[in-house]
Amino acid sequence: MFAQQFKAFLPPKNKLELADPWWVIPSELNIFTGYLPNNRFYPPAPKGKEVIIHKLLSMFHPRPFVKTRFAPQGAVACIQAVAEFYYKIAFRIHAEFQLNEPPDFPFWFSPAQFTGYIVLAKDSSHVREFKLFVPNNRSLNVDMEWLYGALESSNMEVDIGYLPQMELESLGPSVPSVIHDENGNVIDSRDSEGEPIQFIFEEITWQQEISWEEAAGKLEVAMYPFKKVSYLPFTEAFERAKSESKLVHSILLWGALGDQSCSGRTLRETVLESSPILAFLNESFISTWSLVKELEELQAKRENEVNSKLADLHLEKYNFPVEIMICLPNGTVVHHINANYFLDITSMKPEEAESSIFSFSASFEDPSTATYLQFLKEGLQRAKPFLQA
């Protein structure tokens, strides 16, 4: 692999500011285009900037799909730091693997995300550092789906698991494949004792820099517009709600909301990223999302009675796969709805919906946005007696 191939990570001329994301590989899917077929074994030949990412992922398994079946696909990047001759580029990649070949049926292995950074010369002549990894900070970070037949319509089994480590790392600089002296003559790459010639690089002094957390956050919002709302860790959300006298908008689900090992795909691609919902959540709520597994672990830690009780109150309202709740700062759930039920009623015609539960508003073309907004407003209304008391 040659350093020049990593030029795919260099920023375009209009993206030279820190933390300003761009698409390395654009996503071609959205809620309207649907998803790509499950019944496939071999990835299409990579092209353009896909080539380097395909090569990197092929180190894990010979059949990486650089573009996932589900949105958001592709790869985004932003500048994390700038020096005189170098960029430090943070990136995030959504890709997956097909583990089986015929005669077996397809088995998809979809890590939550690949993220990392590259320290690259501005002329892409050499790479100083590179790291690509699957984050392991959540208790579930890989989705697995396998078909029980040869057809697209065949039954599919789904499970979610945990990858403790999946990474590529190079902490040393790349070296030239051919070495020239000051006169341009090719010289031996080994010294008189047969040892490889050592290259000494000066330490990089960064002129501008942002934290990894800020860079990763910008990439996350680029992939998932619903993250324009800050989703805090579970217990932190209730502490913030108490200090700001707000309600908690909480989503409890089996898989992650903010990556590809998810069960909240439809929610985040529709109502959660709509402008009216983003504005209302930012104004009136503290938001959080949690994995069922993590709350079960929190519930079991009885030594922290407050946090254990918060988890209790959530789990007793949970129904598979996703439950949306409006809570008081003390954890009391004042309103909740299952995502499957929500999607069912928003797919109905207005006259078919149960008007006593939710009503459709003519001010929104999208019934799901109108219904979610109504749900949030009803949560605020139901909380009033508790807050006044």
What's the chain look like in SS3?
CCHHHHHHHCCCCCCCCECCCEEEECCCCCCCCCCCCCCCCCCCCCCCCHHHHHHHHCCCCCCEECCCCCCCCEEEEEEEEECCCEEEEEEEEECEEECCCCCCCCEEEEECCEEEEEEEECCCCCEEEEEEECCCCCCCCEEEEEECCCCCCCCEEEEEECCCCCEEEECCCCCCCCEECCCCCEECCECCCCCECCCCCCCCCCCEECCHHHHHHHHHHHHCHHHHCCEECHHHHHHHHHHHCCEEEEEEECCCCCCCCCCCHHHHHCHHHCHHHHHHHHHHEEEEEEEHHHHHHHHHCCCCHHHHHHHHHHHCCCCCCEEEEEECCCCCEEEEEEHHHHHHHHCCCHHHCCCCCCCCCCCCCCHHHHHHHHHHHHHHHHHHHHHHC
What pLDDT score was predicted for residue 302? 85
pLDDT in tens, 102-111: 999 999 999 9
Per-residue burial over 229-249, b if 16 or more Cβ lie within 10 Å, else e, is bebbebbebbebbeeeebbbb
The number of angstroms, rounded, from the C-alpha of 118 to the middle of its chain's C-alpha atoms is 19
What pLDDT score was predicted for residue 83? 98
Taking the C-alpha atoms of residue 130 and residue 85, their distance in angstroms, rounded to an integer, is 16
Taking the C-alpha atoms of residue 207 and residue 195, their distance in angstroms, rounded to an integer, is 36
The tokens of 8 are what? 């795919």
Assign domain 225-388 one CATH number from 1.10.3720.10, 3.90.550.10, 3.40.30.10, 3.30.365.10.
3.40.30.10
Q: CA of 36: how far to CAs of 30, 31, 39, 63, 106, in Å?
A: 11, 12, 9, 16, 14
What pLDDT score was predicted for residue 333? 97
What pLDDT score was predicted for residue 362? 46
The tokens of 364 are what? 């929104």
Q: Are 228 and 278 in contact (CB under 8 A)?
A: yes
The residue ranges of the chain whose pLDDT is under 50 are 356, 360, 362
What lies within 8 Å, CB to CB, of 178 at 6+ separation is: 186, 189
CB neighbours of residue 348 within 10 Å: 13
What pLDDT score was predicted for residue 332? 97
What pLDDT score was predicted for residue 353? 55
pLDDT in tens, 127-184: 999 999 999 999 999 999 999 987 888 899 999 999 999 999 998 888 776 666 677 7
What pLDDT score was predicted for residue 260? 73
The tokens of 58 are what? 């092929």
pTM: predicted TM-score of the whole model, two decimal places: 0.88
What pLDDT score was predicted for residue 255? 84
Phi, psi of 98 (to 5 degrees): -105, 115
The residues spanned by each domain of the chain are 3-218, 225-388
